[in-house]
Amino acid sequence: MMFWAAALLLLSSNAVAEPPERDDADLMSFVTLPEVRALKWDIAYHDRERLAPGYWFVAPYATISPDKPTAKYQQYQVGPYIYDDSGVLIWAGAPLYDNHNVFDFKPVHNIDNDPYLSFIVGWEYDDSKKGHGAIVDHHYNVKNEVQAPENVHDFNMHEFNIMDGGKTALACTYRGKSINLADFGRPTEESFVTVGGFVEVDVETSEVLFEWDTFDKIALHESNMFHSDDRPAESPGWDYVHINSVDKNEAGDYLISLRFTDTIYLISGQDGNIMWRLGGLESNFEQNFNFSKQHDVKFVSSNDTHHVISLLNNGADERGRDELLSSALIVELDVAAQPMTAKVVQRINRPDSGVTKLRGSARVLPNDNIYIGWSEYGYSSEHASNGDLLMTARFASDRYSTYRSYKGEFTGRPTRRPDLVASVYGTREQDTTTLIHVSWNGATDVVQWKFYAQAYEGGQSVLIGTSNKTDFETMFIADGYMDFVSAEAIDADGNVLHTSETKRTSTPSDWKAAGWVGSGSGPSPDDPSIMVAASADLSSGSSDEGAESVGGSASTGSGDRSSAQYAEAKEVAKAVYKAYDVIRGIGGIILFLVVAGTMSGAGYALWRVIRTRRVRYQHVPGEEGIPVEEIHLASNPRG
Ligand SMILES: *[C@@H]1O[C@H](CO)[C@@H](O)[C@H](O)[C@H]1NC(C)=O
Ligand SMILES: *[C@@H]1O[C@H](CO)[C@@H](O)[C@H](O)[C@H]1NC(C)=O
Ligand SMILES: *[C@@H]1O[C@H](CO)[C@@H](O)[C@H](O)[C@H]1NC(C)=O
């Protein structure tokens, strides 16, 4: 036994020292939700004390156009994801829309007193569906699906902006129209252009309540993309303005951003006239700064005389750069002054001095911190209102990006029950140990798990231990062979939030082959009440080690077990856990061969862990779609 503990520790420390090459080290994996492979984060804190409260909301995608669905098994990586600001997964939303690309995923607080989520579900790869705007409640049930307006190819990916009260939402539109080229001095010619516009729609009926577009409002010469000598184009035509954000103030006017005119416009909600232009060739403001190729232009505040707006000043695009680095800008506009003035009240440069050529977001948080999504690889940063850098984070992966990144508070109370998986290992009656894993996808308020077992089906549930929740998934090691296992999710006030199903503990199909040297053909389940009663000191606390979610094993000193045996069994359990932690990142084929070849004691347990891992996790599709297992993709039910 001790030999195995030592050997395992040695193996794991070697593995830590020299991690083998692997293609999925950037992804999390879970025993309870093997189909979820959420992205890991690299985070650097500069002043953690001053971070705003809240979670991160991202929607990773591998390619911005929808992928053809594959008949092969695919884990969930693409779609809406919530993390806490330590990078711990809170909600994997990919199963809700089956790995579809989603955009503009954020928490919504202006509908009623409950928090909601909203996002855009992208169009189908074969154009069979246009996509839609989704509003999801805090039980993760879909509340509304807002359909794309008429005559557009898709529900445009840039914006799904729920207005106060939750009755209406704003979205961008792209439509091809034929236009006369008189503005380019060619009155006898026509070309198709992609007209940029926006709609305000009823979220219940998808009815369009207000509609506006650039056709006959914004001339070709304002475009930085097309020029007077360009050849006319067929449908869908020149993307000459490229609308990428829309917001609305209390006065009922609309603020829009057109990337290909480097201009922000205020559109009258009364008559659709352009009230002013900021930036570009025809700015109405006196300003001592420039911006270009901007994204996510939003009101921070707005009244009759002043507007404060936030934006991401990319200062670059796919064609080149106008500025050395991208920045977020908070700009104050005085529209009562003559002439009107615009001044930068805060400029926050991209912390790594890079440029965000495409996409991105910038938002002022309720505590006045500023949260910026620099888009590529999920790079994002949080700043104090004076601009101080508090934190940067990015996906550990180069394979994914997110169009926008948000931070905000949210309370998730899934309707679905927590997921639990238990398995038992051991070589003789005295050293059986039950490993229990539990998670609850989307729950924000769990601080502790309580674990229960029953002596027989329908028997009394006996508390066998507790463990603080420190990660998405919590592992608990119980001494003995516990069967009919369940777990309760406990909040900070000690309330039970929900209970998992009662699950049978899985056993090896052949105990002897798995190293059993005890009596009979394998152990039978222990009676948890006898074990607990025999225990002098059932520890309610757990032996959580650092950030690892090792459950404290319930120390159950039943009479016929010496304390030395317990100590030994616990050493082994710890060694197994450590090795498990290493292996779940590795898919370690070498460890597998070494350990599977010996098959005894803890080696067996490790073998089980690796075997499970290998079956479920080894074949991870890379960006190029490396061939994967021949398992057909089952469409997951919503919820
Ligand atoms: C803004 O751009 C114009 C035109 O390129 C340039 O002349 C001016 O110096 C720029 N202003 C600032 C503050 O960079
Ligand atoms: C309008 O907003 C500006 C800037 O936020 C503020 O200084 C001013 O007091 C506001 N005016 C009114 C009438 O509220
Ligand atoms: C579990 O959490 C509680 C409350 O935060 C804390 O007092 C206790 O020390 C934690 N237990 C362990 C083992 O970390």
Asked whether the beta carbons of 568 and 553 are under 8 A apart, the reply is no
Residue 602: band (very low, low, confident or very high) from pLDDT cuts 50, 70, 90: very low
Rg (the chain; Cα; Å): 29
What's the confidence (pLDDT) of residue 600? 42
Q: Which residue has the higher pLDDT, 548 or 158?
A: 158
* Amino acid at position 181, single letter: L
Name the pTM for this structure.
0.84
Q: Which residue has the tokens 């990586």?
A: 77
Ligand nearest to the CA of 491: 3
Query: Structural domains in the chain?
Result: 1-30+414-547+555-639 (2.60.40.10), 53-152+359-412 (no CATH), 167-351 (no CATH)
DSSP, collapsed to helix, strand or coil, labels residue 586 as helix
Residue whose CA is at the smallest distance from ligand 2 atom 4: 306
Q: Is the CB of 468 under 6 A from ligand 3?
A: yes
Torsion on CA atoms 276, 281, 286, 287, rounded to nearest 10: 110
Mean pLDDT value of segment 136-164? 97
What ligand has the least distance to the C-alpha of 299?
2
- Ligand 2 centroid distance, CA of 335 (Å): 11
Pairing assessment for the beta strands 89-92 and 81-83 based on DSSP bridges: antiparallel
Report residue 451 as tokens: 């674990």
According to the model, what pLDDT value does residue 575 have? 55
Residue ranges of E strands in 366-458:
370-373, 380-383, 389-395, 405-408, 419-425, 433-439, 448-453
539 lines ligand 3 (CB under 6 A): no
The finding on whether 281 has its CB within 6 A of some atom of ligand 1 is no
Cβ count within 10 A of residue 231: 7
Mean pLDDT of 117-139: 96
3-state secondary structure (DSSP) of residue 497: strand
Residue 68 has a pLDDT of 82
User: What pLDDT does 401 receive?
Assistant: 96
Lining residues, ligand 2, CB within 6 Å: 301, 303, 305-306, 308
Q: State in Å: Cα 353 to ligand 2 middle.
A: 34
Cβ 194 vs Cβ 236: under 8 Å: yes
Q: Are 531 and 430 in contact (CB under 8 A)?
A: no
- Structural tokens at position 441: 């996808």
Question: Counting ligands in written order, which one lies closest to the CA of residue 490?
Answer: 3
Q: Is 338 in the pocket of ligand 1 (CB under 6 A)?
A: no
For residue 539, is pLDDT > 60? no
For residue 332, report the distance from its CA to the centre of ligand 2, in Å: 11
Q: What is the strand order of the sheet 361-364 is part of? A: 41-45, 389-395, 380-383, 370-373, 361-364
At 326-343, the pLDDT tens digits run: 999 999 999 999 999 999
CA of 318 to the centre of ligand 1 (A): 21
Centre of ligand 2 to C-alpha 269, Å, is: 21
Between 19 and 143, name the one with better pLDDT.
143
Distance separating alpha carbons of residues 343 and 369, to the nearest angstrom: 20
pLDDT for the residue numbered 67? 82
Q: How far is CA 35 from CA 61, 82, 510, 594, 620, in A?
A: 17, 17, 27, 27, 11
**Ligand 1 in contact with 289 (CB < 6 A)?**
yes
The SS3 assignment for 394 reads strand
Neighbours of 616 (CB within 10 A): 17
CA 84 centroid distance within chain:
10
290 Cβ closer than 6 Å to some ligand 1 atom = yes
Kindly report, residue by residue over 282-313, the tens digit of the pLDDT.
999 999 999 999 999 999 999 999 999 999 99
* Max Cα–Cα distance, the chain, nearest Å: 100
* DSSP code, position 97: G
User: How many other CB atoms are there within 10 angstroms of residue 597's CB atom?
Assistant: 9
Looking at residue 80, what is its pLDDT? 98
